[in-house]
Amino acid sequence: MRYAAVLAAVAVALAVGACSEDPNSLSAQAKAGDRKGYVSGDGSVEKIAAAERQQPVKLQGATVDGGTWSMAEAAGKVVVVNVWGSWCGPCVAEAPDLQKAWDGLSKAGKPVQFVGIDFREDPARGAAFLKANNITYPSLSDESGVLILALQGKAPTVPTTLVLDTTGRIAARVNGEVTASTLTGLVDDVLAES
């Protein structure tokens, strides 16, 4: 009996040891939250023909500054959705271009709404980033990573920028850092459809 108890204890110790995690594994790095090994998109642009677009995107939630926002506020407008985080280098680099495009389209009186999704970040940190960079359009807080599920698999990495048509369907995507001129061109193309 004593021999069986010793064998059982050794088996349990081996099982527990086998379940311990290598600190260099991808899952351990992801859990660490330090973004080591992070890879951004390459800036590729995808346009989706009207006949091939999926169902309208449904977004709503709390903004990083404590307010709320929903797609209903942008009914009938082209909506630009930018998935970002202040921890993401390309997101920081593209922020002035996004604001420039937003300013230009707004001043031109075009029916467009921008909204950000601050991905996997404390809302206070996201709000501080927006304030420091003079970003004036709203950003939803997605600390849990649930909101991007509404984007139909079209936001595989951060940053990703989507242009939704006036019915809320994804019409274009930039996978990676976007420039003001590229974004303005995509928005103008979608506006020309209506």
Of 116, 136, 131, the C-alpha closest to 59 is 116
**Cβ atoms within 10 Å of 72's Cβ, excluding its own:** 9
- Topology adopted by domain 41-193: Glutaredoxin (3.40.30)
Cβ–Cβ under 8 Å, residues 56 and 168: yes
- For the whole model, what pTM was predicted? 0.81
The pLDDT score that the predictor gives to residue 140 is 98
pLDDT in tens, the chain (194 residues): 565 555 555 555 545 444 445 554 434 444 455 545 556 788 899 999 999 999 999 999 999 999 999 999 999 999 999 999 999 999 999 999 999 999 999 999 999 999 999 999 999 999 999 999 999 999 999 999 999 999 999 999 999 999 999 999 999 999 999 999 999 999 999 999 97
Is the distance from CB of 105 to CB of 184 less than 8 angstroms? yes
Residues 6+ apart with CB under 8 A from 77: 111, 112, 113, 166
pLDDT at 167: 97
User: Length of the chain, please?
Assistant: 194
Rounded CA gap, 162 and 69, in Å?
Answer: 17
